[in-house]
Structure 1
């Protein structure tokens, strides 16, 4: 027992052949570009991929931001220095880490990351510095967000619709 369908299957066969070739390079590149853009945005928002805020900078780190000319004779620091320190965000002093993040498509895989050695300590946290005495909290910047997943889904659905037309 079975089902037998008769008719012209050329369109369906062609659509299945297109789908069978895999996701086109331009679609994978669009996915990578979107992930990269949202990764860069996390540096501006100081947020992890799951949406949680990054831990604030330690008082010791913020104290290093005070220059000798910021110190007032009567004690304390200038209003300009206070404003500068209040606006200081983690991981963006030079933007070297943010700007080092790139993407690469190899076959069916998409890689988004950085080759900077110090990126790992910021992503996962841990002890660093001479004698590993300084604790740096994790401030994850790499990873997929729900927005990433939704965009990937939308791009793949659009490609599938086009491939099956």
Structure 2
């Protein structure tokens, strides 16, 4: 994927995934489900206009916002095909990558000289809970046989 790469080092989740990897079966399905959950979390942050830590995105510059149609332009900013719509994941047995092919994603995530950061990639507390649910479901199915 072109654009932005952010590595999340969450040792508790990594230890859990290492233990689960030793269970029968492949890790590819669990990584696919984790990817889907994290992409959905990022899309939810677009809808709420907030960072992974829950802090609100900075509002649009009033002059710029006046040229746009109605409230929520940050949310609407590509739900069909822009940044929101480009969020995707790639999963295999050893991991999952979440990201976008939009080069301007870095400006949105980190900010620039003229644009405040409006981060959307990263793990929220809800994302972590969703990942634990995915792992628990996988473990439950592996144990049940």
Give the TM-score category using the shorter length. Answer: 0.7 to 0.9
Aligned pair partner of 2:127 in 148, 153, 164:
148
- The CA deviation string for residues 59-115 of structure 1, in whole angstroms up to 9 with x for no partner, is 1211323xxxxxxxxxxxxxxxxxx43x13326333311011111013311111001
Alignment correspondent of 2:91: 105
1:23: how far off? 4.8
In 2: Cα distance, 1:56 partner to 1:22 partner: 47
1:22: how far off? 6.4
Check the 8 A contact 1:19/1:160 in 2, yes or no: no
Question: Which segments of 5 or more consecutive residues in structure 1 lack a partner in the other structure?
Answer: 1-15, 66-83, 128-134
Q: Tell which has more relative contact order, 1 or 2 (C-alpha 8 A, sep 6+).
A: 2
In 2: Cα distance, 1:59 partner to 1:37 partner: 29
- The CA deviation string for residues 126-162 of structure 1, in whole angstroms up to 9 with x for no partner, is 12xxxxxxx2000001111111111111221232233
Distance 1:119-1:108 versus aligned 2 partners, 3 A rule: same
Check the 8 A contact 2:28/2:92 in 1, yes or no: no
The secondary structure found in structure 2 opposite 1:54 is: coil
Aligned pair partner of 1:163 in 139, 142, 145:
142
In 2: Cα distance, 1:63 partner to 1:94 partner: 18
Check the 8 A contact 1:55/1:137 in 2, yes or no: yes
Higher radius of gyration, 1 or 2: 1
Alignment correspondent of 2:110: 124
Matches within 5 A, 1:41-80: 41-65=44-68
TM-score by length of 1: 0.66
Check the 8 A contact 1:101/1:113 in 2, yes or no: yes
Query: What is the CA RMSD across the aligned residues, in angstroms?
Result: 2.2
The secondary structure found in structure 2 opposite 1:157 is: helix
- Stretch moving more, 139-148 or 87-96: 87-96
